[in-house]
Amino acid sequence: MLIGENSVGEFYSVAVANHYQQADTGTKMIHVGRNTRSTIVSKGISAGNAQNSYRGLVKILASADGARNHTQCDSLLMSDRCGAHTFPYIEVKNPTATAEHEATTSKISEDQLFYCLQRGLSQEDAVNMIVSGFCKNVFKELPMEFAVEAQNLLAVSLEGAVG
């Protein structure tokens, strides 16, 4: 809830779904005050047979003059049996407000993997490197120690996940 004038909300997330998991994650940003701003960056990684969904609500009330939201939703597919879905709900009641939504879906490519292998990286390291790159603009918002932890956790979650 962004109530006070000029208040700012930020949401950064990385969601990983592997095996047969189904994930449905997201956030709400409710703009009440004037000139409130919010940013949402959501990265979804699907592996195995998993389905990963982003579901987010951006609500800008009539009172929120000049409110701004930017949402970026990127999905990475690690196999050809998984899926990614994006459900952005945007409700704008104020004509001076701006809401932007950007979404991309990409598949970890054979070319990227082979390129890394040809440079001598193991399959495992190559996958971790590509996935970390994909999550970079979320991880860079984290304190360093936590970013390292997050990266390691990601590596463990995706062990042997390409295929």
Please tell me the distance from the alpha carbon of residue 134 to that of residue 130, in angstroms, as a whole number: 6
Asked if 13 and 25 count as a contact pair (C-beta separation under 8 A), the reply is: yes
Which one, 19 or 136, has the nearer CB to other proteins? 136
Please tell me the distance from the alpha carbon of residue 73 to that of residue 9, in angstroms, as a whole number: 16
Which one, 54 or 139, has the nearer CB to other proteins? 139
Q: Coil, strand, or helix at residue 161?
A: coil
CB of 148 to other proteins, least distance (A): 14
Please tell me the distance from the alpha carbon of residue 154 to that of residue 149, in angstroms, as a whole number: 9
Binding mask 67-106 for other proteins (x = CB under 8 A): ----------------------------------------
CB of 109 to other proteins, least distance (A): 7
Cite the beta strand spans of 93-153 per DSSP E.
98-107
Task: Kindly determine how many residues on this chain lie close enough to bind other proteins according to the rule CB under 8 A.
Answer: 22
CA angle, 26 then 142 then 1, to 5° = 40
Site for other proteins in 100-139 (CB under 8 A): 109, 111-112, 114-123, 125, 129-130, 132-137
Which one, 84 or 97, has the nearer CB to other proteins? 84
Which one, 5 or 125, has the nearer CB to other proteins? 125
Q: Coil, strand, or helix at residue 26?
A: coil
The DSSP output letter for 39 is E
CB of 120 to other proteins, least distance (A): 3
Q: Which residues bind other proteins (CB under 8 A)?
A: 109, 111-112, 114-123, 125, 129-130, 132-137
